Structure 1
């Protein structure tokens, strides 16, 4: 057994120097709104792995807060007079554990895999400058729709040093507090944005080769998928704009791609079509790009469908980019873009 993960009968974790890290130092923070049974599964998966679970509720009307308290979670209910964001909810949970050595953040539609927290904790104990670790997130029902299967592949990111992680992460409390936590003004993309600030402060971010969470996307309709893509475009635009002066060029390419495929190229084709009917041949750029992505995809199942949806997503993503900048120019704050 790895010496950093030895678990003794009292339930403590020990680092290489023999210093105990008590379960109370690992605080789990789950966030959600109207997640129903998904939240119950989330909390039940956490309670055996840590001694303290904080659930931050954002105006649920389905009894989530009461049911969470009955299970044994400490409930924080956000004042909905202030606009809700996932970042604000995570910060509220962290504020209830100001001295926690380690924080396990998880979205309320996810279950935490058995043994994940011990595995992630071992990695954090082994490297003092490692600030955040995440493992493999997988979909609960990939067979239910192509949209769920797309998510399942999307979660399967490379193992090793990472530029960013998502909403499920085990983090060093000191690192989160040093950078001021999540930006509560972001309606999406708050996790990569915080990871950018962590990296600038010298903290490491790593994806571990271990199962971490089971996500329930519950995406069965095209409209849900399109709203999710639109939210991604908004996040790309807002985070890249906020850090536009940084040397990393963070999310600049992700912002430009939807504008090219979803706006610029269609306008170029239409403009050229006024001069010559041969301009419609430029539409071949779309199937050629789909073929290019599909042939480069190492996973054979659904590769052509995934490639088509990846390109098709550039249109709602472009809408999200444009919406952000239009609201920015008129001084209006964007509201949440939810897909379920």
Structure 2
């Protein structure tokens, strides 16, 4: 199926912190009918202005943290189905229908994009951490997942009703554990994962320190 052939109305939350270099390409790759909501988490490089000039809805999020930005974008959405995607150019928004279509067709309640990385796109420390977290998640929920990929889709109303509270790096994991506890149908689909746009810096697992912080926050979620 051609990913660009199916164009429903879907909101796409793009948590953003200093992504001026990647936003033009990212926003240009959105399929028809997909609306960008850039949740700006205090960028100082003009990201918010660039996003607005390119037609995105921009939400200022003064509370720092990945989860704070992602949740603010979710609350600003009004489409029935909401997607999440990184804004650093590592994932191609043209592939968003891969995660959105099963939700729109009522074949799944939450769809995660399982990253299939290009050479050099996923640092070894980040990949090892992701494998470990996926194993802990399987033990916690019983879900046979391999990745906590940032590209994902679900219905807005049901997501809000989960009452997610983490506002740091644990937010993506809390979404999955809460969905599993609520009996959601959760599945994975493959998506491409590439080198982020030159000039874009990872805020999550691109560095060893970022990976450590992510593991700490996610372990806190699992402990709850």
User: Which TM class, normalised by the smaller chain length?
Assistant: 0.7 to 0.9
For residues 149 and 110 of structure 1, do their structure 2 counterparts lie closer, same or farther at Cα, with a shift above 3 Å needed? farther
1:30 equivalent in alignment to 2:5: no
Kindly state the Cα deviation for residue 150 of structure 1 after the two structures are TM-superposed.
5.0
Shift of 1:107: 1.9
CA distance 1:163–1:154, shift in 2 (3 Å): closer
Q: CA deviation at 1:138?
A: 4.6
| 1:18 equivalent in structure 2 | none
Larger Rg: 1
Gap change, CA 1:40 and 1:151, over 3 Å in 2: farther
Question: Is the counterpart of residue 232 in structure 1 residue 214 in structure 2?
Answer: yes
C-alpha contact (below 8 Å) 1:163/1:192 kept by paired residues: no
- When the two structures are aligned, how many residues end up with a matched partner? 210
State the 1:120 CA deviation: 2.4
Higher relative contact order (CA 8 A, sep 6+): 2
The aligned runs of 1:1-340 (5 Å cut-off) are: 7=5, 12=7, 23-24=8-9, 26-46=10-30, 48-78=31-61, 80=62, 83-98=63-78, 100-113=79-92, 115-128=94-107, 130-139=108-117, 142=120, 148=123, 151=126, 161-162=144-145, 165-180=148-163, 182-185=164-167, 187-208=168-189, 210-214=190-194, 216=196, 225-241=207-223, 243=224
TM (norm. structure 1) is 0.52
1:269-310, CA deviations, whole angstroms, 9 ceiling, x for partnerless residues? xxxxxxxxxxxxxxxxxxxxxxxxxxxxxxxxxxxxxxxxxx
TM-score by length of 2: 0.76
What do residues 143-163 of structure 1 show as CA deviations (whole Å, max 9, x unaligned)?
A: 7xxx735546877989x9438
Give the root-mean-square deviation of aligned CA atoms. Answer: 3.5
- 2 CA distance for matches of 1:193 and 1:204? 15
SS of alignment partner, residue 37 of structure 1: coil
Structure 2 gap ranges (5+): 136-142
